[in-house]
Amino acid sequence: MKVNCDIGERGSDHPIDKRILHYIDIANIACGGHSGDSNSAAVFYQRAQSAQLSVSAHLSYPDRKNFGRVSMSLPKEHLFASLNQQRALLPQVHTVKFHGALYNDAAADIVLAEQLAHWLVHADFHSVITPADSCLADAAQTMKLNIIPEAFAERRYRLHDTGRLALLERSHPLACLHTVAEALAQCQLLQQGQVEALSEDEIILCPIHAETVCIHSDADIALALAQALQDSTNA
């Protein structure tokens, strides 16, 4: 399973971001919506190219104040105008991964997902990193886009009564895995097509399909986890 990581969210010279590139397969490069700018995007694109990594454009609601982690009700023209500005930082990249609240909203809101799928085609994207059971995956497949199904290494899941998996909201005390051992155990489950999820008040095993696993670069364990995942792959 390939490892992807959100990169360039803390400037063009952040030591963790620079080192973590040596242990991942896909760099999701911030393009200014939630973080990043033209300089950091260009610098990390070149570093990713030098490391022979795949790259996705990491696009967000235009909300640097909240790091793109708060849902926004924007007219679609305003949202697309911002996404066009972000996309312009990496015009040569044809894979996208939405960030934060936009990622989660697109997974659950079929209207937004369909709007974004049409925009992706117009913006010359060919592939999208998104949960396999998401509304965005369904809408993107309808538009003949390639889906790269994703799960998360150091975040816990909730099973909604609709049957859809989603990340536990960050305000929940169980939202994050805080040790490399816990995250590796979750990644091993993901390899088997399963994940633990909170359903009402109990943790249950749920089926999940993923071809890439995400590490958030701002997680305390990010670098150590990326190293451990590479070691386990090479073992």
E-strand ranges in the chain read 2-7, 26-30, 54-59, 95-98, 127-130, 146-152, 157-159, 165-167, 194-199, 202-207, 212-216
Q: Looking at domain 2-152+210-234, which CATH architecture does it have?
A: Alpha-Beta Barrel (3.20)
Q: What pLDDT score does 13 carry?
A: 94
Question: What is the C-alpha to C-alpha distance for residues 110 and 186, in angstroms, rounded to an integer?
Answer: 28
Confidence of residue 235 (pLDDT cuts 50, 70, 90): low
pLDDT digits (tens, 9 = 90+) for 29-68: 999 999 999 999 999 999 999 999 999 999 999 999 999 9
Q: Is the pTM of this model over 0.85?
A: yes
Q: Give the tens place of pLDDT for each residue, 101-125.
A: 999 999 999 999 999 999 999 999 9
- Taken as a whole, the chain contains a residue count of 235
Strand ranges, E, within 31-178:
54-59, 95-98, 127-130, 146-152, 157-159, 165-167
Kindly report, residue by residue over 154-195, the tens digit of the pLDDT. Answer: 999 999 888 899 999 999 999 999 999 999 999 999 999 999
* Percent of the chain clearing pLDDT 70 (strictly above): 100
Parse the chain into domains and list their residue ranges.
Answer: 2-152+210-234
